[in-house]
Amino acid sequence: MQAHETLPRPPPGGDVVQPARHGVSDPDVSLLESLTPEERAWIIADEERWRRAYAIAGEHRGIDAGGIYRVLRNLEKSPTERLRAGLEHGRLFGSPPR
């Protein structure tokens, strides 16, 4: 699937807000109303992250938007949070042999 292609919207009455990577640009307002203000703000910011990731991927052939999204998420973390996450990942998955 090309970065600019979109999937169809879920049927009305669904209980999941689909992120922008699935072609949703205006989430169902009734679903957002059931969220706390903090959850709603996170969803909106996450939508923007996915849009930005796809825009960047669209400019660079062969680059995965999911990888760009993960980088954008990590850039929002402090250096301490990134280090902690890297160390935890290393403990869970181990280091490749050298």
Looking at residue 86, its pLDDT comes to: 87
**Residue 44: inside a domain, yes or no?**
yes
At 22, is the pLDDT very low, low, confident or very high (cuts 50, 70, 90)? Answer: very low
Is residue 60 one of the residues assigned to a domain?
Answer: yes
The verdict on residue 56 lying in a domain is yes
pLDDT tens, residue by residue, 40-93: 999 999 999 999 999 999 999 899 999 999 999 999 999 999 999 889 888 777
Q: Provide the residue range defining the domain that includes 38.
A: 27-93
**In the chain, how many H helices and how many E strands?**
4, 0
Task: Give me the number of domains the chain comprises.
Answer: 1
Indicate the pTM of the whole model.
0.58
Q: How far apart are CA 88 and CA 6, in angstroms?
A: 35
Residue 2 · residue 59 · CB < 8 Å: no
